[in-house]
Structure 1
Amino acid sequence: MKLARTGALAVAAGLAFGAEDARAYDMDCAIMLCMAGGFPSSAVCSAAYAEMIRRITPWPSRPPFGVCTYAAVPVALGGPGGSAALDISTPEYSWLRRTRVLWWRGRSYEPRDEPRQWDWSVRSCDHENQNCHYIVRVYGSHTPWPASFTSENGQNLPTPGSGGLWFFYSRAVMMEYGDYGGAMDYTDWVNY
């Protein structure tokens, strides 16, 4: 009920702004609301999911969601009023701050007069697609990269490929996110 009421407020607020502002407002809030529910099956959440993936897919790569300005919805429309953007630094939005953008890079190659080798790495960035660091980085392994790895949020995530028998190179990006209840999930890898 609360999620439906919030969605209705988002639509009502969108009508109060100009058409261009409303589209940006609606999509950023839709991404956050649908993510909070684990992206349930609906036309709105399907569009929000597709937009989130489009934003993180290079180039240029952007944060998966922007600023939801629900805080600016007038009191007359059921919002809190004010002019500020939604502050996600508060404890009730900790689930949203667990969002990570994961960048994969892997290659398989055969150096001259040596056995086949594999290199792979996973770089993790915060919900703004900034403050990145490597969580896995392996060079010159004589075994293919594993089928999965453990993320910072403790999820066992699949790697996007097996490493191939011949020269093989892959790059991909995915999102790891949590819902309002704390359950973690992830998107498919998107190769680029």
Structure 2
Amino acid sequence: MRRQAMAAALGVMAALGAPEKAQAYDIDCAIMLCMAGGFPPSTVCARAYRTMIRRITPWPSLPPFGVCTFAHVPVELGGPGGEGELDTNLPEYEWLNRTHVIWFTGRSYEPRDEPRQWDWSIRSCDRENRTCRYIQRVYGSHTPWPATFISESGQEIAYPTGGGLWHFYSRSIMVEFGDYEGNMGHSEWFSY
């Protein structure tokens, strides 16, 4: 009886103990590893993908993932407990440096006594959403936004909508990423 009570107490302590830090570390590593593999179908990668999208969709958005390095694992979890930084300038992290968050904003309107017009912009930001640049910015076009655009990484990506007559305003976000072999991919568009 005493062993069962001790086992139950240890189980509760394990469930309520240090897992929050381990959980944050684990999901960031899962996001990076699954992204490098193109988010292959699995429970872990599906959860990593959902977490990444949940981070980038609020405004202001959060980086798609945090730092994943063994140096940050606490000693109590079996790591060195150091303060080392992950050097992403090394060639083996080139795939990580090709990660971009792509923002789309478009609207359709009718100025007084003029035909319908469209405005749209595509903005590409680094994986931390710190450095951003516009890929396209169009104001007062008499035609809807086109079906596709070319990203910074050379991918042809479809716009979130066709910009038809009934699309009066659209705001969406996606993540463009490369895997460790240099293949590029992207998430679907998420409207917010």
Q: TM-score, normalised by structure 2?
A: 0.84
Using the TM superposition, give the Cα deviation of residue 83 of structure 1 relative to its aligned residue in structure 2, in angstroms: 4.0
SS of 2:61's partner is coil
- Preserved contact between residue 160 and residue 172 of structure 1 (Cα < 8 Å): yes
Q: Does 1:98 align with 2:102?
A: no
- Preserved contact between residue 107 and residue 120 of structure 2 (Cα < 8 Å): yes
- Preserved contact between residue 108 and residue 167 of structure 2 (Cα < 8 Å): yes
Using the TM superposition, give the Cα deviation of residue 162 of structure 1 relative to its aligned residue in structure 2, in angstroms: 1.8
Q: Share of identical aligned residues, percent?
A: 68
- Preserved contact between residue 70 and residue 79 of structure 2 (Cα < 8 Å): yes
Who is 2:135 aligned against? 135
Give CA-to-partner distance per residue, 1:89-111, whole Å, 9 cap, x none. 21110111000000100011111
SS of 1:128's partner is coil
Runs of 4+ in structure 1 over 3 Å off: 71-74, 77-83
- Preserved contact between residue 68 and residue 85 of structure 1 (Cα < 8 Å): no
Q: Does 1:145 align with 2:145?
A: yes
Question: Unaligned regions of 5+ residues in structure 2, if any?
Answer: 1-16
- Preserved contact between residue 38 and residue 179 of structure 1 (Cα < 8 Å): yes
Using the TM superposition, give the Cα deviation of residue 141 of structure 1 relative to its aligned residue in structure 2, in angstroms: 0.6
Residues 141 and 54 of structure 1: CA distance in aligned 2, closer, same or farther (over 3 Å): same
- Preserved contact between residue 109 and residue 166 of structure 1 (Cα < 8 Å): no
- Equivalences for residues 1-192 of structure 1 within 5 A: 18-72=18-72, 83-166=83-166, 168-192=168-192
- Preserved contact between residue 108 and residue 118 of structure 1 (Cα < 8 Å): yes
Q: Greater Rg, structure 1 or structure 2?
A: 2
Using the TM superposition, give the Cα deviation of residue 79 of structure 1 relative to its aligned residue in structure 2, in angstroms: 7.4
SS of 1:181's partner is coil
Query: In structure 2, what is the Cα distance between the partners aligned to 1:119 and 1:112?
Result: 16
Using the TM superposition, give the Cα deviation of residue 163 of structure 1 relative to its aligned residue in structure 2, in angstroms: 1.8
Using the TM superposition, give the Cα deviation of residue 166 of structure 1 relative to its aligned residue in structure 2, in angstroms: 4.2
| Number of positions where the alignment pairs a residue of Structure 1 with one of Structure 2 | 175
Give CA-to-partner distance per residue, 1:11-43, whole Å, 9 cap, x none. xxxxxx921110000000000111111111100
Query: In structure 1, what is the Cα distance between the partners aligned to 2:191 and 2:26?
Result: 28
Aligned CA RMSD, in angstroms, stands at 2.1
- Preserved contact between residue 109 and residue 168 of structure 1 (Cα < 8 Å): yes
Using the TM superposition, give the Cα deviation of residue 81 of structure 1 relative to its aligned residue in structure 2, in angstroms: 8.3
Question: Unaligned regions of 5+ residues in structure 1, if any?
Answer: 1-16
Using the TM superposition, give the Cα deviation of residue 72 of structure 1 relative to its aligned residue in structure 2, in angstroms: 4.2
Residues 20 and 79 of structure 1: CA distance in aligned 2, closer, same or farther (over 3 Å): closer
- Preserved contact between residue 29 and residue 70 of structure 1 (Cα < 8 Å): no
Query: In structure 2, what is the Cα distance between the partners aligned to 1:27 and 1:130?
Result: 22
Give CA-to-partner distance per residue, 1:56-76, whole Å, 9 cap, x none. 0013410001011223459xx
